[in-house]
Structure 1
Amino acid sequence: MSDGIARPWALMRHHAGWADVFLIEKETADSITGVYPDRETVGPPVNYSMRAVLARFETLEGARAAREGAVLEWRKHDAAVRDAETALRAAEKAREDAWLTCLRGSAG
């Protein structure tokens, strides 16, 4: 029995901070084929590289619980990310102002 049969549920990266539950229906050494059961419209099976799998689980409930726990962990860092983004915007503004000041000084 392959690992894909034993653990047919996977979490696939959807976007930063979110993973979608994926049902693996078939796999090879290089790729997996399956569907996203939590989406409103479950379309035809899709194929991905094995690298797209973030984690594998034996049950749907296990995959969903892991996803929710990971979201909570992600959210713990929201304030630090906002602070870093604010500092980055301030640094970019200072860089832009310095660049404009240099250009204007050179034109004089």
Structure 2
Amino acid sequence: MSNRIERPWALMRHHAGWADVFHIESETPDSITGFYPDRETVGPPVNYSTRAVLARYSTLEAARAAREEAVAEWRKHDAAVRDAETKLREAEKLREDAWLTCLRDAAERS
């Protein structure tokens, strides 16, 4: 048995700041096949590139615990991200205002 299949639980990126627990049933050097055990409807197995795997774990509990720890770490940065987004919106407003002022000044000069 390879080291990869000994760690059949993976975290797969779902969206920014969140990963879904995925059970790997089979794999090749390029792809994995499995299912999401936490989803309400477990359909047929799905295939992904091995690049989709964020991390692997030996147990379901370890994957879930890692996901929760990572979410807490992500949340530690929420305030800094909100501050940066506010500064970005302010800078974009200044840019927009400067652009409009330039256009209006040019119109008055002509």
Q: Shorter-chain TM-score category? A: over 0.9
Q: CA RMSD in A?
A: 0.6
Structure 1 unaligned residues grouped into runs of 5+: none
Indicate the residue corresponding to 1:77 in structure 2: 77
Runs of 4+ in 1 over 4 A off after TM superposition: none
Any stretches of 5+ residues in structure 2 without a counterpart? none
User: How far did 1:90 drift?
Assistant: 0.2
Larger Rg: 2
The secondary structure found in structure 1 opposite 2:43 is coil
- Please name the residue that 2:52 is paired with: 52
> What displacement does 1:2 show?
1.4
Distance of 1:53 and 1:61 partners within structure 2: 17
Return the alpha-carbon distance in structure 2 between the equivalents of residues 41 and 11 of structure 1.
18
Give the TM-score normalised by the residue count of structure 1.
0.98
Identity %: 82
How many matched pairs? Answer: 108
Could you say which residue in structure 1 is the equivalent of 2:62?
A: 62
What amino acid sits opposite 1:3 in the alignment? N
1:39 maps onto 2:36 in alignment: no
